[in-house]
Structure 1
Amino acid sequence: MSIQRYEQIGVAMTCRSFAEYESMFVLRQLSLQDGPVLDVAGGASSFVAEACARGIHAQAVDPLYDMNPESIYEHGTQEIATSTEKLSRLEGSFDWTYYGSLDNHRIQREQSLQKFIDDYRLQVGTGRYNSARLLQLPFDDEAFSVVLCSHFLFLYHEQFDYEFHLSAVEELLRVCRVGGQVRIYPLRSLQWDVYPHLEQLRAALEKQGFMTELIPSELPFIPGSSELLCITK
């Protein structure tokens, strides 16, 4: 019998909330008020909007921000509908402890998209949302105390090779302050396998003087995905 997997062509738009980020990145361990926070490949997630509303200095970067609000909203609405349909066919494979149900998952995505769009409309041109992509981020060295990357690196490892991943993480570390952290989640691909070059990547980073560790995530959803990669500069 064939094993079902989540099918995805290209990179999907992400629409996740502050609460989801808090759980998947275990942000309660960190003092986000201590310095700027960067969300890389943030898509239409409302993390930055909600963080700023809490008094946290946060910015996001994604090539999506070349688009106007109406186009992003339309794209996000379609992405949510498509992903919900895919998840419905694989519902029994995922851990619904956090979301409760597929309907709640969809509702949270829609709420996150709306919060993002409301903020994006107000913040265009202010520097809160920056259009760029890895491997080149438009920020000075050591500009952020915390750098987050959700559902991009490792998830699409069949599209991006090891050299891209290493260079991408090095770029995340370039804009991270000494003593700060880069956190990446999940560590599994859309085929639900652990990134095959994870230990090679960690060894290369540790050789450069960075400390890497795998820490438990508080957002179990993807089958077997219980950890995130934390890199301290």
Structure 2
Amino acid sequence: MSNQKYEQAGVAMTCRSFAEYEQMFNFELAELQDTAILDVAGGASSFVAEACARGIQARAVDPLYELDPESIYTYGLKEIETSTEKIARLESSFDWSYYGNLGNHRKSREQSLARFIDDYRNQRETGRYISALLPQLPYEAGTFSLVVCSHFLFLYHEQFDYEFHLRAVEELLRVCRVGGQVQIYPLRTLHWDLYPHLEQLIDALEQQGAKSVLLPSSLPFIPGSDQLLCITK
């Protein structure tokens, strides 16, 4: 286990942009145009807002969405302040090839939060953003052709056991169409170690007929986070 750790009590709010999702999951914009996407544990990321502005069908779920826009915005600003302080203490450990420096990293979080809040305020009643908590999602089976989960599963290994992870991924697969994909990033814990039950999880999913493969990711900010898990239903 790594001697270093990103200290986190509870689950942090994520505020990531469409561009960051493109890097994390190696998305090609043209490939997403006819894809129904669900962002699970999307937090205050602006991925869905930016995707919809590009004509892509995208929705997000997160327990955060039970809150009003102003509460989320206030919470998000505090979260960005706190996370920036934590990252600063471990600054030399991270890969800055994408963000450049800590200031740019913080600025991208603030921009994503603001973009999300604008869309959330306007689209909250349309069903684009729904409050939900894994391992139960409020969608019929086979609703989406691509289901993504960023910076939640695997990362919080110490807080959520293997059974939770298995049930959560099974639920992601349930709402995914046959032939569709579930993609999860990163594969590292807050200790930056590879999720220790990854092989067990993949084996269990393959017994249910799902095919898993590790693919390269282009956003290796967290040490060692150069891969994502892609599961085909």
TM-score bracket, shorter-length normalisation: over 0.9
| Shift in alpha-carbon separation, 1:185–1:76, aligned structure 2, 3 A | same
Please name the residue that 1:154 is paired with: 154
Kindly state the Cα deviation for residue 4 of structure 1 after the two structures are TM-superposed: 2.8
SS of the aligned residue for 2:125 comes to coil
Instruction: Determine if the alignment matches structure 1 residue 222 to structure 2 residue 190.
Output: no
Please name the residue that 1:5 is paired with: 5
Write the deviation string for residues 96-145 of structure 1: whole angstroms up to 9, x where unpaired.
Answer: 00000000000000000000000000011100000011011000100000
Give me the identity figure in percent.
73
Task: Work out the CA distance in 1 between the residues paired with 2:183 and 2:192.
Answer: 19
Q: Which amino acid aligns with 1:63?
A: P
TM-score (norm 2): 0.98
Please name the residue that 1:139 is paired with: 139
Task: Work out the CA distance in 1 between the residues paired with 2:64 and 2:5.
Answer: 26
Please name the residue that 1:191 is paired with: 191
SS of the aligned residue for 2:100 comes to coil
Task: Determine if contact 1:42/1:62 at 8 Å carries over to the other structure.
Answer: yes
Instruction: Determine if the alignment matches structure 1 residue 52 to structure 2 residue 55.
Output: no
What is the alpha-carbon root mean square deviation over aligned residues? 1.1
Kindly state the Cα deviation for residue 29 of structure 1 after the two structures are TM-superposed: 8.4
SS of the aligned residue for 1:182 comes to strand
SS of the aligned residue for 2:228 comes to strand
| Shift in alpha-carbon separation, 1:40–1:230, aligned structure 2, 3 A | same
SS of the aligned residue for 1:124 comes to helix
Task: Determine if contact 1:32/1:146 at 8 Å carries over to the other structure.
Answer: no
Kindly state the Cα deviation for residue 3 of structure 1 after the two structures are TM-superposed: 2.9
Task: Work out the CA distance in 1 between the residues paired with 2:181 and 2:4.
Answer: 35
Write the deviation string for residues 67-112 of structure 1: whole angstroms up to 9, x where unpaired.
Answer: 0000000000000000000001100000000000000000000000
Task: Work out the CA distance in 2 between the residues paired with 1:223 and 1:103.
Answer: 19
Task: Work out the CA distance in 1 between the residues paired with 2:4 and 2:134.
Answer: 30
Write the deviation string for residues 134-187 of structure 1: whole angstroms up to 9, x where unpaired.
Answer: 011000100000000000000001110000000000000000001110000000
- 5 Å-filtered alignment, 1:111-150, equals 111-150=111-150
| Shift in alpha-carbon separation, 1:201–1:29, aligned structure 2, 3 A | farther
Task: Work out the CA distance in 2 between the residues paired with 1:29 and 1:204.
Answer: 32
Please name the residue that 2:202 is paired with: 202
SS of the aligned residue for 2:45 comes to coil
Instruction: Determine if the alignment matches structure 1 residue 180 to structure 2 residue 180.
Output: yes
Structure 1, gaps ≥5 residues long: none
